[in-house]
Structure 1
Amino acid sequence: MITAPIIVLLRTKTSSEKASTTGSPNETIIYFTNNIFSLTFLPYLGEWTITENMNIERVHHTASTLTNECVLVTGGWGGSAELYNPSTGTWTATGNMNTARAAHTASSLANEYVLVIGGVKNDVALNSAELYSPATDTWATTGNVNVARAAHTASILANEYVLVAGGWDGSVALNSAELYNPSTGTWTTTGNMNTARYYHTATTLANGYVLVTGGFSIGVGILNSAELYNPLTGTWTITGNMNTERYYHTASTLANGYVLVAGVWDGSAEFYNPTTGTWTMTGSMNVARVGHTASTLANGLVLVAGGYNIDVGYLDSAELYNPSTGTWITTANMTARREFHTASTLANGSVLVTGGHNRFGMLNSAELY
């Protein structure tokens, strides 16, 4: 009597197999065990491949996907910028920003320009902003924000304005917020948040509201509070508190409209229901981490990569969150340990990770998941 199950593993070829075997480089490989009784399908969980290094080592930089599918990387303790071409896997230096900066934000506007805001230079928070034109490959200054800030958030609203909230001005956490008008290149103040914070997250919801979560406030510490910005009234309303205080965390929008927040020293994760304004704990990550990245994939899974663990140190591990089961699955490790890197989802479904730092210093390496 046959009792042992057959296990079928479906996956695409690895990089080495693509180079050394015949047939299509993207064909599925099938593995069988010996005894046949039942079928168990194990999904292939991806791999990381090295792509060309950036020209500059970067941390606390930004990465923006352009309409031509190239990725613009800016700053990270310098004023340089460069473009990644997914078709060739190569980097090209582009025009330098007018001001060197790190811990800034970069927003892709409807007119295809990229708006870079604030940040820090030589430990001084900046109030400058500038625009990158993909058509001319040049930078031009635009209106200054009213308050110098770094480690803030920037969110594009339905009316194409850009909402900037919170941050650090060089001495204290900020609760101020302001709006950028792309048509005029000017800034106007809007309602203050209820809590000053930096290194928080901001997520634009399907109803047009912006959800801000967690962060750090000097004199208060790590925050579990959350609040909503109403673009129609320009006001902030407190919504349900998270179950756990968080900063250097990530926030990802799921297919059902919920917002998954992940990362803190205990590895916990939870999701926000915009309809009820409540938070629900979900499965914890396999590895606790902060300073990581999170990318929502085309299949609905969320890829979390890298970061820092208080016991292990800098991480090269990655894992996938399945919204259907509320669980995390370990996937292939990155080729380098990194924290405060960036992750960009490309048109072909791959995720490009760039830079960051580890115990050896800042990185110029890049890789694809």
Structure 2
Amino acid sequence: MLPSGQVLVAGGFNRTTEAYEPRAGTWWRAANTLTTHRSHTATLLPDGRVLVAGGGRQSSTGVNAELYDEITARWSAAGIMLTTRFGHTATLLPDGRVLVTGGTDREFGGRTLSSAEVYDPGTDTWTATGSLGTARTHHTATLLPSGQVLVVGGDDRGIRSNTAELYDPSTGTWSSTAGMWASRTYHSATLLPSGQVLVVGGDPDGSNVSTELYDPESKTWSSTANMNVARRYHSATVLNDGRVLVVGGYHDSAGIHFSAELYDPATGTWSSTASMNAGRFQHTATLLPNGSLLVVGGAGNQDQSSAELYAPQAPVVLE
């Protein structure tokens, strides 16, 4: 979400960029990106610009990074990344820099990476930092209240991981922490208001209904209630009341999910809520200033161009 409250959607199968104006409920076209990005990341910087890093079609270099300026509605080239990456993570650090970790050097069949690099918006440069202890892609990276970054799960050439490690921005080094109960990839990791991290679903084959909590104070994991529906490629968003809304996803047997469910940290339980109008996975979900959730795009029975809103107060899904 941009500083104005509008939502920027960029990347995918082409260079087009759109923005959603929540007050009017309308979309408008912004300038195209300089290159095509897919399996990329998009990070809002403290100065209001958006950094899009890595990704691209199989034929592209994948090293391009670019910046979107809401004031001009234009893109400009950013410093070139040190390493070609797809399926990596990007995390805004407390000092305004961006930590990028792991991924692969090709979108399909590439080498899984353990390297990490940091982007400095002030100098428009990338610098290498300490490498992960485990090469991984399709993992998660969560900024903790301490300023450390928790990296969890992922896979290396199909071998799924339950390992977790912590990045310290002050030293640029990694340390191992307790591993999860289950190996996961294509899962979600959500920072709760309590400071704990809720990890949900993921592989193998999208059949994982289990969820678990990481406590940064004790550096331990504990199990919590299972979801109602097994899913991967879903989204998980903290609502204004502290509950977590998990939306969509995929299951190898059940297929594409329309369903959504809510996790209540106060009780450690899940409850079903209104289903989406369109089944989708690998979509985006953005919490709007009014407390509604905007769900956009993704894959479905066909690639989705639709968007829909979830209103927690109702709760209903509106097209």
Taking structure 2 as the reference length, the TM-score comes to 0.94
Match of 1:34 in 2: none
Match of 1:233 in 2: 171
How far 1:122 moved relative to its partner?
2.8
Measure the CA separation in 1 of the matches of 2:219 and 2:254: 35
Work out whether residues 125 and 169 of structure 1, in 8 Å CA contact, stay in contact via their aligned partners in 2: no
* Per-residue CA distance 1:211-251 (angstroms, 9 max, x = gap): 00001111x61111110000011001111000001111111
Residue 21 of structure 2 corresponds to residue 85 of structure 1: yes
Match of 2:313 in 1: none
Work out whether residues 125 and 168 of structure 1, in 8 Å CA contact, stay in contact via their aligned partners in 2: no
Residue 309 of structure 2 corresponds to residue 368 of structure 1: yes
Match of 2:248 in 1: 306
Measure the CA separation in 2 of the matches of 1:315 and 1:201: 21
Work out whether residues 268 and 285 of structure 1, in 8 Å CA contact, stay in contact via their aligned partners in 2: yes
Measure the CA separation in 2 of the matches of 1:112 and 1:69: 11
**Structure with bigger RCO (C-alpha 8 Å, 6+ apart):** 1
- In structure 1, runs of 5+ residues without a counterpart are 1-64
Match of 1:102 among 31, 38, 41: 38
Match of 1:150 in 2: 86
Residue 285 of structure 2 corresponds to residue 331 of structure 1: no
Residue 157 of structure 2 corresponds to residue 215 of structure 1: no
Match of 1:40 in 2: none
* Per-residue CA distance 1:55-77 (angstroms, 9 max, x = gap): xxxxxxxxxx0010000000111
Match of 2:144 in 1: 205
Measure the CA separation in 2 of the matches of 1:227 and 1:150: 20
Residue 245 of structure 2 corresponds to residue 245 of structure 1: no
Match of 2:222 among 277, 280, 290: 280
* Per-residue CA distance 1:119-140 (angstroms, 9 max, x = gap): 1213555011000000000000
* Residue identity opposite 2:242 in structure 1: G
Match of 1:181 in 2: 120
How far 1:98 moved relative to its partner?
0.3
Measure the CA separation in 1 of the matches of 2:182 and 2:56: 28
Measure the CA separation in 1 of the matches of 2:186 and 2:61: 19
Match of 2:315 in 1: none
Measure the CA separation in 1 of the matches of 2:57 and 2:251: 27
* Per-residue CA distance 1:21-69 (angstroms, 9 max, x = gap): xxxxxxxxxxxxxxxxxxxxxxxxxxxxxxxxxxxxxxxxxxxx00100
* Residue identity opposite 1:91 in structure 2: W
Match of 1:60 in 2: none
Residue 290 of structure 2 corresponds to residue 352 of structure 1: no
Match of 1:48 in 2: none
Match of 2:238 among 274, 287, 296: 296
Match of 1:6 in 2: none
Measure the CA separation in 1 of the matches of 2:88 and 2:59: 15
Measure the CA separation in 2 of the matches of 1:110 and 1:259: 23
- In structure 2, runs of 5+ residues without a counterpart are 311-319
Measure the CA separation in 2 of the matches of 1:222 and 1:123: 27
Measure the CA separation in 2 of the matches of 1:166 and 1:357: 24
Match of 2:316 in 1: none
Work out whether residues 319 and 328 of structure 1, in 8 Å CA contact, stay in contact via their aligned partners in 2: yes
Taking structure 1 as the reference length, the TM-score comes to 0.81
How far 1:343 moved relative to its partner?
0.1
Between Structure 1 and Structure 2, how many residues are aligned? 303
* Residue identity opposite 1:216 in structure 2: D
Measure the CA separation in 1 of the matches of 2:208 and 2:297: 25
Residue 107 of structure 2 corresponds to residue 165 of structure 1: no
Work out whether residues 120 and 149 of structure 1, in 8 Å CA contact, stay in contact via their aligned partners in 2: no
How far 1:293 moved relative to its partner?
0.3
Match of 1:131 among 67, 75, 80: 67
* Per-residue CA distance 1:153-197 (angstroms, 9 max, x = gap): 000111111000001101111000001110110000000000011
Say which SS state the counterpart of residue 132 (structure 2) adopts: coil
Match of 1:191 in 2: 130
* Residue identity opposite 1:363 in structure 2: Q
Measure the CA separation in 1 of the matches of 2:214 and 2:61: 32
Say which SS state the counterpart of residue 120 (structure 1) adopts: coil
Work out whether residues 209 and 230 of structure 1, in 8 Å CA contact, stay in contact via their aligned partners in 2: yes
Work out whether residues 315 and 338 of structure 1, in 8 Å CA contact, stay in contact via their aligned partners in 2: yes
Aligned-residue identity in percent? 47
